[in-house]
Amino acid sequence: MTSILVDQDLCTRCGICSSVCVMGVIDPADENTLPKVNKANEGMCIGCGHCEACCPSQALIFNDRPDEKQRLPAGAGTIAPEEMGFYLKKRRSVRRYTKDPVPKEKILEVLDIARYAASAGNGQPMEWVVIHDPNKVRKVAGLTIEWMKTLRNTDHPMNGYIPLLIGAWEAGSDVICRGAPHLLVATIPDGNPMAQTDAIIAMTHFDIAAPSFGVGTCWAGFVAMAASQYRPLQEALGIPAGRKCAYAMMFGYPQHKIFGIPRRKPLKVTWA
């Protein structure tokens, strides 16, 4: 099966598809032929779809579920720089949530955006576990505390904080998941050295996209650390065999709105 489909009536033979091909496997068109991928090179295609995305006449379609192709409306996705700046600067780590559940359909919409995140070699290694039941999120938090208790009297870097965290938990304060109704866990294949970075990129997409849906997020570092080492937590998260937790994120509807932008350290740039 050829890796690209070209409409000869729409193709202008501009050469852009072959120019932008990441792997350089698309032979450019000439007066007598359309752009093509020789069968000997088809195995080198990583399926990124860059050729399709950059075709100005939309004559070329990457041959991966072509019936699902979506046309990009004119002007879609264009955001003024100042609006993008304000949107990103007002993003906050949310640690106070309402009890209202986020519908599964809305969560899937945000995750659908996250699946377009960059990944090494377009490997797309990400899979997700969504803990939707608040009671199960609470259980995850409790298991994270259990893991922390195993670190007492060790040389673990967190050892100095552990008594405070355990004490707060036992006093009734959820210092692990902050009472969030939901938890998102990114899973990656064991033995893939690039997948960890891919996961962080994809989870950042979720983190950035969520506020546009009215959803607040906070990176769940304690859960992520525990899930990398504590078997009972791994089992509770239901991580599939052959995969591991790359990171975790709590989320839900925030209790408070954002009305200002706090300061950050001055920008430091070295030009080389």
Is 90 part of any domain? yes
Our count of domains for the chain comes to 2
CATH number, domain containing residue 179:
3.40.109.10
Dihedral angle sign, alpha carbons of residues 190, 191, 197, 202: negative
Structure tokens at 46: 């990583």
Indicate whether 141 and 232 sit together in one domain.
Answer: yes
Q: Calculate the average pLDDT of the chain.
A: 93
Domain that holds residue 112: 86-252
Indicate whether 52 and 126 sit together in one domain.
Answer: no
Q: What's the DSSP call for residue 90?
A: T
Indicate whether 50 and 101 sit together in one domain.
Answer: no
Indicate whether 120 and 22 sit together in one domain.
Answer: no
Structure tokens at 124: 């797309």
Q: Which residues pair with 250 in a beta bridge?
A: 183, 218
| pLDDT, position 2 | 63
Q: What are residue 83's phi and psi, to 5 degrees?
A: -70, -40
Indicate whether 211 and 95 sit together in one domain.
Answer: yes
Q: Which residue has the tokens 């906050």?
A: 92
Is 78 part of any domain? no
Q: What's the DSSP call for residue 40?
A: G
Q: Is the pTM of this model over 0.75?
A: yes
Is 259 part of any domain? no
Indicate whether 35 and 64 sit together in one domain.
Answer: yes
| Mean pLDDT of the region 70-76 | 82
Q: How far is CA 40 from CA 16, 27, 44, in A?
A: 21, 12, 9
* CB neighbour burial string for 158-197, b if at least 16 within 10 angstroms, e if fewer: eeeebeebbeebeeeebbbbbbbbbbbbbbbeeebeebee
What is the percent of the chain where pLDDT is above 90?
Answer: 75
| Mean pLDDT of the region 98-106 | 97
Contact of 29 with 13, CB cutoff 8 Å: yes
| Mean pLDDT of the region 175-185 | 98
Mean pLDDT check: name the lowest of 23-27, 95-99, 193-197.
23-27
Indicate whether 113 and 170 sit together in one domain.
Answer: yes
Residue 247, classed as helix, strand or coil, is: strand
Indicate whether 113 and 37 sit together in one domain.
Answer: no
Residue 245, classed as helix, strand or coil, is: strand
CATH number, domain containing residue 53:
3.30.70.20
| pLDDT, position 227 | 96
Is 264 part of any domain? no
Decide if pLDDT at 1 tops 70: no
pLDDT digit string (tens) for 202-243? 999 999 999 999 999 999 999 999 999 999 999 999 998 899
| Mean pLDDT of the region 50-66 | 88
Classify strands 243-252 and 36-37 as parallel, antiparallel or unpaired: unpaired
pLDDT digit string (tens) for 130-161? 999 999 999 999 999 999 999 988 888 888 88
